[in-house]
Structure 1
Amino acid sequence: MSTYEELISLLRDCKRVLRAARKPTWDEYIESAKIAGLGILIVGGVGFLIRVIVQLIELYT
């Protein structure tokens, strides 16, 4: 398959996806924001714990 044909195929697929897409409802938006916020908190918490552990190791070595 040539590069041109791959590009045409990609554009066709993108067009199909955009036709099926819709704007989320307010409830869906809020739920997505909550999930993203929870993920941010979890990653931050893990980073904080790693930092505390490293500092404790440095303190006692």
Structure 2
Amino acid sequence: MDVPLELSAYTRVLRLASTPSWEEFSQIAKIAGAGILLIGLIGFVIFLLMSGVTSVI
């Protein structure tokens, strides 16, 4: 493990990184929120299906 090499790589990444504009942040937040809601909806549908299947058996 070469510590100076790793530190230089980290500082290079930090120099290239920039704060996103409000539009970029807003778009990323909307997409992430939609993904979370979609996964939650899929989980809820699976829960309803499994509840229906177990009540029939």
TM (norm. structure 1) is: 0.85
The one-letter code sitting in structure 1 at the alignment partner of 2:22 is W
Match of 1:14 in 2: 10
Structure 2 gaps of 5+ residues are none
Q: Does 1:28 align with 2:24?
A: yes
Residue-by-residue CA offset, 1:4-25 (whole Å, 9 max, x unaligned):
x1x3222111110100111100
CA–CA separation in structure 2 for the residues paired with 1:56 and 1:34: 33
Q: Does 1:49 align with 2:45?
A: yes
Q: 1:40 deviation in Å?
A: 0.5
Match of 2:54 in 1: 58
TM (norm. structure 2) is: 0.91
Structure 1 gaps of 5+ residues are none
Identity over aligned pairs, percent? 37
CA RMSD, 1 decimal: 0.9
